[in-house]
Structure 1
Amino acid sequence: MPGAVAAVAASFTAAVGATITDIGPWYQALVQPDWAPPIWLFGPAWTIIFMLCTFSGTTAWLAARNSDAADTIIGLFALNGFLNLLWSFLFFRMHRPDLAVLEVGVLWSSIAALMVVSWRISRPAAVLLLPYLLWVSFAAMLNRAIVELNSPF
């Protein structure tokens, strides 16, 4: 049951994020740094990350020793999903990469918090989040570069 709930939650977050993300004329007109990955890479990368988050959440939830620990994991994943969607909304819908670059620090911190709490419950669950933390670190650098190359917003 926890796996199904985690899969539905991750799928919902991914689907909402996909509807918020508009790789249309505005995004395509942005000056990108030379090291920016091709647009097609983002879909597969996020698919893998959401799968790993599903496995991590399920692993931590099943390993939780009591309902308080399980509730903490669920709450942190819910907060993280909200922050993930907020970043997409700021960047792609509001066309405010400058605000998104500030918010990505909060998103990154929520992943770090998930890893710390998960580590106490299940080390494999925490390790499964490492690619997410690394990808968001890279995305933060890319977001910052886009702001520097395209300001003001």
Structure 2
Amino acid sequence: MESKTPSVYTTLVLVTDQFECERIIKAGRVIADLSKTSYAVLSVMHTGARTNPAALEHLFSVAKEYDAEMTITFSDNPKSTIMHFIRDNKVINAITGIPGGEDSILVKMWKKLLNVTFFTVGRNGELHEVIDREYHPVNINI
């Protein structure tokens, strides 16, 4: 019988307080399984920010369903908080939504955390590895 030893490495999903982040949690489970890593979900919001408690509760339930530990925290410096979490939890894969622009925290992390493999999940759930670590605007035809 094969014993399951927890991995020392982690796959991390970064979410906001939006219902749509469910797709990111689902995609992250795939990467965690493929890489045989532990699985965590993190939501870091600015201190004092107004949140959507119903969406956070929903995401917490989805994380539980996909066997992920979810952490919700508030910070005056979300980028620093995320980077410390990545370092402290030996994150090797990070899955996010699509960054809002070139000045996004996500793009800055892509360029700084070269030992982490980043993936983005589009609105339709398509998963893409961030290869060149540069921001490329997504053209949306409606």
- TM-score of the pair, normalised by structure 1: 0.30
Highest RCO, 1 vs 2 (Cα 8 Å, sep ≥ 6): 1
Larger Rg: 1
- TM-score of the pair, normalised by structure 2: 0.31
Higher normalized helix content (fraction of residues): 1
